Amino acid sequence: MILKPNQIFGLVTLTTSGARFTSTATNNLQFQSRTVSVKMANPAVCDSEKKLITHVIFDMDGLLLDTEKFYTEVQEIILSRFDKTFDWSLKAKMMGKKAIEAARVFVEETGISDSLSAENFLVERESMLQEMFPTSELMPGASRLVKHLHASGVPICVATGTHKRHFALKTQRHGEIFSLMHHIVMGDDPEVKQGKPSPDIFLAAARRFDGEPVHPSKILVFEDAPSGVLAAKNAGMSVVMVPDPRLDSAFHETADEVVKSLLDFDPAEWGLPPFTDTTA
């Protein structure tokens, strides 16, 4: 079953007393009392399933690397030429997608497709992105978590919508971290027929681990984008979402857990090796 944005279930488990939250099959949420910080949990993932995790797949842009801001900046520059502004509702539809798929959303949703084709948008933004990508920084907690899981012997990999040439530019200062990955699947990989929210890229990544095929229920995905979270669920995997704070929280509902930053993630909650004093 492929999850569509309106087939969203969310069950809030309380981490502090107070809020009561019920959600129906769509996004309409009724909070019966004050809002507190809560951990989202997908009803399909109960504690015992959380203990099954043996492999981890990391998204990259916006999750391991602070690169989504470059896409936003370039899109704002291009839109300003048409006296239009870029906003997070459009960003939410684009992020995580393959370049051409995101470009089509961009020109159509902003109404500029008669003046700028999706293909020409990609050409126009290219030179600006090529200058920005080499300055990419790691997101908070990314290095610590990747090093910890690798040192603990947990198979880890990357599944990113970005294309090979951009991947090289973005990661050129972070070779050590990306060298710890068992493999890296990119958006222009021949096995990735459709971009996120299709499950293609995560299923391809799962197939490339060593040994027996890994059952999706044993895989935990880390994502920042709504399309990526949906792709992970469509692949039958569990997913921890680390959303940009400007993203509408309604997009958090499909994730099995939502954390503000990778620094707030506790591997032991998923049956993965806990941080030790030296790594915490």
Ligand X SMILES: O=P(O)(O)OC[C@@H](O)CO
Residue written as token pair 């198979």: 155
Structural contact between residues 224 and 240, judged by C-beta atoms closer than 8 angstroms: no
Out of ligand X, Mg ion, none, what residue 42 binds, judged by CB under 5 to 8 A for its kind, is none
| Alpha-carbon gap, residue 207 to 100, rounded angstroms | 25
Residue 75 or 238: the one with the smaller Cβ distance to ligand X is 75
Q: Which of 45, 90, 205, 225 binds Mg ion (CB under 5 A)?
A: 225
Largest Cα separation within the chain, whole Å, is: 58
| CA dihedral (175, 225, 192, 217) positive or negative | positive
Give 23's strand partners: 29
CB of 224 to ligand X, least distance (A): 6
Contact 204, 159 (CB under 8 A): yes
Q: Which CB, 198 or 238, lies closer to ligand X?
A: 198
Which residue in 59, 189, 224, 256 is the catalytic one? 59
Residue 188, Ramachandran bin (φ over 0: left; ψ between -120 and 50: alpha; else beta) = alpha
Among 61, 101, 189, 256, binds Mg ion (CB under 5 A): 61
Does 62 sit near Mg ion (CB under 5 A)?
Answer: yes
Q: Does residue 189 carry a catalytic annotation?
A: no
- Tell me the window of 60-68, 115-123, 244-252, 260-268 that interacts with ligand X (CB under 6 A): 60-68
Supply the minimum distance, in Å, between the C-beta of residue 105 and ligand X: 11
Determine contact, residues 3/233, Cβ cutoff 8 Å. Answer: yes
What residues pair up with 185 in beta bridges, in sequence order? 159
Site string for ligand X, 245-274 (x = CB under 6 A): ------------------------------
Nearest distance from C-beta of residue 227 to ligand X, angstroms: 8
Does the annotation mark 59 as catalytic? Answer: yes
Q: Judged by CB under 6 A, which stretch of 55-63, 103-111, 138-146, 266-274 contacts ligand X?
A: 55-63
Contacts of 114 (CB under 8 A, 6+ apart): none
Q: How far is CA 138 from CA 105, 114, 179, 212, 213, in A?
A: 27, 37, 14, 32, 30
Is the link from the previous residue into 197 a cis peptide, with omega within 30 of 0? yes
Rule CB under 6 A: say whether 60 interacts with ligand X: yes
Binding region for Mg ion (CB under 5 A) = 59, 61-63, 96, 224-225
What is the set of active-site residues?
59, 61
Binding region for ligand X (CB under 6 A) = 59-62, 71, 95-96, 160-162, 225, 228
